Amino acid sequence: MPTTPPPSILSRLRPPPSSKTKSKPKALPPLSLPSPTLVSQHTPCTLHTSILPPELACRLFYTMLDEAKEWKRNKWWLFDRLVESPHRTGFYTRMERDGDGGEEVDEEGGWKEAAQFWYNGRETKAPSQFPAVMEEACTIIERVVNEELRKRPRFPLEWAGYPPDQSRPNGDRDSGILWRANVAASNCYEGAKESVGYHSDSLTYLGPYPTIASLSLGTTRIFRLREVIPSDEINLRQPRTYNIPVTHNSLLIMHASTQEKFKHTVPPQPTIDLFRPPFPRQSPPFASSSSSNPDHQIEPSNCRINITFRFYRPDFHPSTIPRCKCGVPAVLKPDMKNRHRGRVDRFWWHCNAGAQNEGKDCGFWKVLDMKGEGRGPCVGDVEARVEQENTSI
Q: CB under 5 to 8 A by kind: which of ligand AKG, Fe ion, none does 266 bind?
A: ligand AKG
Instruction: Point out which residues bind ligand AKG (CB under 6 A).
Output: 185, 187, 196, 201, 214, 223, 264, 266, 306, 308
Closest contact distance (angstroms) between CB of 172 and ligand AKG is 32
Cβ-proximal residue to ligand AKG, closest one: 306
- Closest by Cα among 349, 350, 343 to 370: 349
251: partner contacted, choices Fe ion, ligand AKG, none (Cβ within 5-8 A by kind): none
CB of 171 to ligand AKG, least distance (A): 31
| C-beta closer to ligand AKG: residue 187 or 204 | 187
Closest to 347 in 3D by CA, of 218, 191, 156: 156
Residues with Cβ < 8 Å from 271, sequence gap 6 or more? 192
Minimum distance of ligand AKG from residue 200's CB (angstroms) = 9
Q: CB nearer to ligand AKG: give 63 or 74.
A: 74
CB of residue 196 to ligand AKG, shortest distance in Å: 5
For residue 87, the minimal CB distance to ligand AKG (Å) is 8
Residues composing the chain: 393
Q: How many residues interact with Fe ion (rule CB under 5 A)?
A: 1
379 binds, among Fe ion, ligand AKG, none (CB under 5 to 8 A by kind): none
Closer of 214 and 301 to Fe ion (Cβ):
214
- DSSP class of residue 220 equals -
Q: Are strands 31-32 and 96-97 parallel, antiparallel or unpaired?
A: unpaired
- d(CA 251, CA 216) in angstroms, rounded, equals 6
| Least Cβ distance, residue 246 to ligand AKG (angstroms) | 6
Site for Fe ion in 135-194 (CB under 5 A): none
As to burial, measured by CB atoms within 10 angstroms (0-12 exposed, 13-18 middle, 19+ buried), residue 104 is exposed
Task: Report which residue's Cβ sits closest to Fe ion.
Answer: 201
Amino acid at 40: S
List, in order, residues 6 or more apart from 17 with CB less than 8 Å away: 23
Considering only residues 201, 315, 335, 345, which one is a binding residue for Fe ion as defined by CB under 5 A? 201
Instruction: Show the beta-strand stretches assigned E in the chain.
Output: 31-32, 45-48, 75-78, 81-84, 88-93, 96-97, 104-105, 128-129, 183-190, 196-199, 212-218, 221-227, 241-246, 250-254, 262-266, 303-310, 331-334, 347-350, 365-367
Task: Work out how close the CB of 201 gets to Fe ion at its nearest, in angstroms, rounded to a whole number.
Answer: 4
Of 160 and 254, the one with the shorter C-beta distance to ligand AKG is 254
Per DSSP, helices labelled H in 27-173 are 36-42, 54-67, 108-118, 132-151
Closest by CA to 370, choosing from 157, 155, 114, 154, is 157
Residue among 43 and 214 whose Cβ is closer to ligand AKG: 214
Which among ligand AKG, Fe ion, none contacts residue 209 (Cβ within 5 to 8 A by kind)?
none
Nearer to ligand AKG, 57 or 196 (CB): 196
Query: How near is the Cβ of 160 to ligand AKG at its closest, in Å?
Result: 25
Backbone angles phi, psi at 372, to 5 degrees: -60, -35
Reduce the DSSP state of residue 348 to 3 states and report it: strand
183 binds, among Fe ion, ligand AKG, none (CB under 5 to 8 A by kind): none
- Decide: residue 123, CB within 10 A, 0-12 exposed, 13-18 middle, 19+ buried: exposed
Residue 223 interacts, among ligand AKG, Fe ion, none and using kind-specific CB cut-offs from 5 to 8 Å, with ligand AKG
Round to whole Å and give the CA distance between 259 and 248: 24
Q: Are 61 and 248 spatial neighbours (Cβ–Cβ below 8 Å)?
A: yes
Nearer to ligand AKG, 98 or 201 (CB): 201
Dihedral class, residue 57 (left if φ above 0, else alpha if ψ from -120 to 50, else beta): alpha
Nearer to ligand AKG, 63 or 306 (CB): 306
Shortest Å, Cβ 111 to ligand AKG = 17
> Which C-beta is closer to ligand AKG: that of 212 or that of 370?
212
The stretch near Fe ion (CB under 5 A) out of 102-110, 182-190, 195-203, 296-304 is 195-203
| Residues near Fe ion (CB under 5 A) | 201
